[in-house]
Amino acid sequence: MTRPIATLVAQAVRGTLAWLALLVPRLVVPRNRRWVAVLGRADGHFSDNCKYFYIDAQADASWRVVFITSHDAVIDALQAASQPVLRYPGWRAAWFLLRCGGAVVDTTEWSRRWRRELLTGSRLVQLWHGVGFKRIEMDRWWHERSSDTAYWLRIWLYRLSGRLVRYDLVLATSRYYADQLFSKAFLSKRLLLANYPRNRFGLTESPASPLALHGVDPVALRQTLDWKAEGCRVVYVTPTFRDDGRHCLPMTSDERRALEAFCQECQIRLVFKLHPNDTSEIALSDQIAVVCAARSDVYPLLRHADALVTDYSSIYMDYLVLDRPILFYVPDIAAYVAHRELQFDFDAMTPGARATTWSELMESLVLELACDSHSDARRRLRTKAFDENEPSDATRRILRALAPKGAS
- Rounded to 10°, the helix 358-371/253-266 angle is 20
Nearest Cα to Cα of residue 52 among 127, 132, 136: 127
**Residue 334 to residues 199, 238, 342: CA-CA distances in angstroms?**
31, 20, 11
pLDDT tens figures, 249-267: 889 999 999 999 999 999 9
Distance from C-alpha of 157 to C-alpha of 160, rounded to nearest angstrom: 5
Where is average pLDDT lowest: 91-95, 131-135, 201-205, 227-231?
201-205
- % of the chain with per-residue pLDDT over 90: 71
Model pLDDT, residue 342: 82
- Rounded to 10°, the helix 137-144/148-161 angle is 150
Q: Which helix (H) or strand (E) holds 192?
A: strand 191-193
Model pLDDT, residue 310: 95
pLDDT tens figures, 15-42: 888 888 888 788 889 999 999 999 999 9
DSSP 8-class letter at 290: E
Model pLDDT, residue 297: 93
3-state secondary structure of 131: coil
- pTM of structure: 0.93
Confidence of residue 1 (pLDDT cuts 50, 70, 90): very low
pLDDT of residue 307 exceeding 90, the answer is yes
pLDDT of residue 215 exceeding 50, the answer is yes
Q: For residues 51-67, give the mean pLDDT.
A: 96
DSSP 7-65: HHHHHHHHHHHHHHHTHHHHHHS--EEEEEEEE-HHHH-S-HHHHHHHHHHTT-TT-EE
Model pLDDT, residue 83: 97
Model pLDDT, residue 208: 63
pLDDT tens figures, 137-148: 999 999 888 889
Structural domains of the chain ordered from first start: 5-199+390-402 (3.40.50.11820), 213-386 (3.40.50.12580)
- Most confidently predicted of 2-11, 69-78, 197-206, 337-346: 69-78
Q: Which amino acid is at 184?
A: K
Model pLDDT, residue 201: 73
Chain-centroid distance, C-alpha 166: 20
DSSP 8-class letter at 244: T
pLDDT tens figures, 151-193: 999 899 999 888 899 999 999 999 999 999 999 999 999 999 9
